[in-house]
């Protein structure tokens, strides 16, 4: 007991302290802002989409360790994926957070560490914030017909 939880806890802290893909892109295709008023989490997400792929993912914002580490994990998990793959993965993560599916570590990467958050409904919105922002960004770009 505890071994896996400790490892996951360590991964979450690592992404919180050393956020991957933090900052902004030089030439984003689309940018969105989302926030989670229940906790005060904010994210500004930028995507650069080239040939239907997420060639660049950058995030900035502030909030609790779950929201910020999740944004970092999301940026790694979605980078280089096609738009459809990214949308599928966001949906998978959403279902994991709702306890409807087991986490697919191969697809989620370090974000598998957030699976335990599903046990804490108050924190689920924190974990989902950046992923929902990514979905919104992709759908926004599509509706703009780019």
Smallest gap from residue 123 Cβ to Zn ion (A):
7
Smallest gap from residue 98 Cβ to Zn ion (A):
17
> Which of 16-24, 52-60, 109-117, 120-128 is the region at the interface with Zn ion (rule: CB under 5 A)?
120-128
Please count the other Cβ atoms lying within 10 Å of the Cβ belonging to residue 134. Answer: 28
Residue 68 engages Zn ion in binding (rule: CB under 5 A): no
Say how many Å lie between the first and final Cα of the chain, rounded.
Answer: 49
65-78 and 83-97 are packed helices; what angle lies between their axes, rounded to 10 degrees? Answer: 150
* Pairing mode of beta strands 30-36, 41-50: antiparallel
Q: What are phi and psi of 98, to 5 degrees?
A: -90, 0
Q: Give the residue, chosen from 73, 111, 126, 137, that forms a contact with Zn ion under the rule CB under 5 A.
A: 126
Cβ-based nearer residue to Zn ion, 54 or 126: 126
Residue 130 engages Zn ion in binding (rule: CB under 5 A): no
Smallest gap from residue 143 Cβ to Zn ion (A):
28
Which of the residues 14 through 33 are near Zn ion (CB under 5 A)? none
Residue 64 engages Zn ion in binding (rule: CB under 5 A): yes
In 101-117, which positions are buried (b, 16+ CB within 10 angstroms) versus exposed (e)? eebeeeebbbbbbbbbb
Contact positions vs Zn ion (CB under 5 A): 39, 41, 63-64, 67, 126
């Amino acid at each position: 007991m505890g071994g896996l939880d400790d490892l996951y806890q360590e991964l979450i802290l690592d992404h919180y302290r050393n956020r991957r893909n933090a900052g902004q892109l030089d030439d984003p295709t689309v940018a969105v802002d989302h926030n989670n008023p229940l906790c005060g989490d904010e994210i500004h997400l930028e995507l650069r989409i080239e040939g239907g792929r997420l060639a660049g993912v950058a995030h900035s914002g502030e909030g609790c360790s779950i929201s910020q580490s999740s944004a970092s994990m999301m940026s790694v998990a979605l980078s280089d994926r096609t738009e459809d793959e990214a949308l599928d993965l966001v949906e998978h993560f959403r279902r994991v957070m709702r306890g409807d599916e087991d986490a697919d570590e191969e697809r989620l990467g370090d974000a598998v560490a957030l699976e335990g958050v599903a046990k804490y409904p108050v924190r689920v919105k924190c974990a989902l914030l950046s992923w929902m922002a990514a979905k919104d960004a992709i759908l926004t770009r599509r509706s703009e017909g780019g």
